[in-house]
Amino acid sequence: MPKSNCSDCTCRLANEVGQLKAIVNAQSKTLAKLVRQMRDGCKKDEEPKECTLCGLNPCLKCLQPDILYHLGLDTETTDFPKVFGDVRFVCMGGTPGRMENFAYYVMQEIGLKINAATKLRDMAEAGKRFSLFKVGPVLCASHGMGCPSISILLHELIKMMYHAKCKDPVFIRIGTCGGIGVDPGTVVISSEAVDGRLNPAHEILVHGISVQHASQLDEGLADEIKMCHDPDKDNFDTVIGRTLCAHDFYEGQSRLDGAFCEYTLENKQTYLEHLQSQQVKNIEMESLAFAALTSRANIRGAVVCVAILNRLNGDQIKTPHEILAKWEKRPQELVARYIRKTLYFNENDNLSEEPEDETDKRASQGAAGDTQKAPAEEAE
Ligand SMILES: O=P(O)(O)O[C@H]1O[C@H](CO)[C@@H](O)[C@H]1O
Ligand SMILES: O=c1cc[nH]c(=O)[nH]1
């Protein structure tokens, strides 16, 4: 009897060891897949990679090389599929500083690391116009102010996605805005972009003739980003609404404090109240070009901006810089959560847990994109 007890026990132990091994094996496979995804971006070996963008200039394939002048990059000296082929998220905002900060922040949020003695390289430095940082599958670019500036950047980034054969990249603008009837500090996610006449189209002149491109944004993406807001944790509101895109900060936004002003306070109040009655929640200066160019290329796009004042209460921005800096992080937090969720909690991947293991962190060291040595710079 004692003998058979002992063999029962051995048998049970052997079973448990077997089960544990199976669990460890399954987890190692998941970890390996995760590390591969972080390194290589989206599912590489499913099918031969072709770009998923639509409606692009048919002459692009004839441009050998294609020079992305304002980014200081070209297809002859840079191997686009190798360097940018893994990009899944293209995030953009007005200033180089904001986008560099966001690059470091998103790196931490998605569990990537670079050596403490390196810093992220501005990949568009040679162009001397925009800044561009790459953190694994996330590209972070500054776009300057206004539709002409962001449209130049978008033409070149969309061509980059094409040459790099990127699959379904998502574009997100992370910005600031003037709120319409929303408390300062509120994050506004745009449902669509409209011009000063509330027309949902970006107008450009081609050969002197007006051409209008629809400025719709991806509703599903807006909802997904909104769902990343946690009302229990975040001490700010997040709303979805229409965004008015102006071509100027002063007269185009009905301010009374520009160098010129040929209307009255009453005219301004009437206009802003009309906007509010038409579900316009904010005013900024890039969403029309952003929405039009992304949707023309069949790219899912979202605009996520924090309101730095309520325009119904005034024009001047009196909030201290330290507070503005904190508010500026709010859209970044939501977008970084969205990226993290998309990378690690993708239903198709059946992943229920994000990586906590040091293995991931070690494996991803130096995988945060292009880096260059800098003396004793900390990544965070
Ligand atoms: O969202 P950011 O980049 O802050 O840009 C907003 O702020 C600038 C005006 O101050 C405009 O470009 C407007 O769109
Ligand atoms: O009022 C504002 C604030 C930020 N950006 C704008 O374009 N307008």
Q: Residue 123: what residue type? A: M
- What letter does residue 127 receive in the DSSP assignment? G
- Taking alpha carbons only, the member of 118, 113, 189 closest to residue 360 is 113
Please give the pLDDT value at position 358: 33
Centre of ligand 1 to C-alpha 284, Å, is 6
CA distances, 54 to each of 82, 213, 230, 286, 298 (Å): 21, 15, 35, 22, 6
Specify the residue with its C-alpha closest to ligand 1, atom 9: 249
Centre of ligand 2 to C-alpha 94, Å, is 11
For residue 137, name the pLDDT band (cuts at 50, 70, 90).
Answer: very high
178 lines ligand 2 (CB under 6 A): yes
CATH superfamily of 60-345: Nucleoside phosphorylase domain (3.40.50.1580)
CB atoms within 10 A of CB 339: 24
369 lines ligand 2 (CB under 6 A): no
Please give the pLDDT value at position 364: 35
Centre of ligand 2 to C-alpha 178, Å, is 4
CB-based contact 255:315 (threshold 8 Å): yes
Report domain extents, the chain. 60-345
Q: How far apart are CA 266 and CA 340, in angstroms?
A: 46
Does residue 52 have a known ligand-binding role?
no
DSSP class per residue in 317-355: --S-HHHHHHHHHHHHHHHHHHHHHHHH--GGGT--S--
Specify the residue with its C-alpha closest to ligand 2, atom 7: 284
- Tell me which ligand sits closest to the C-alpha of residue 303: 1
Specify the residue with its C-alpha closest to ligand 1, atom 7: 176
- Residue pLDDT, tens place only, 351-367: 444 444 333 333 333 33
188 lines ligand 2 (CB under 6 A): no
- Residue pLDDT, tens place only, 195-238: 999 999 999 999 999 999 999 999 999 999 999 999 999 999 99
What ipTM does the predicted assembly reach?
Answer: 0.99
Does residue 252 have a known ligand-binding role?
no
pTM for the predicted model, two decimal places: 0.82
Structure tokens at 252: 């185009």
Structure tokens at 92: 């953009």
Length of the chain: 380
96 lines ligand 1 (CB under 6 A): no
Centre of ligand 2 to C-alpha 27, Å, is 48
250 lines ligand 2 (CB under 6 A): no
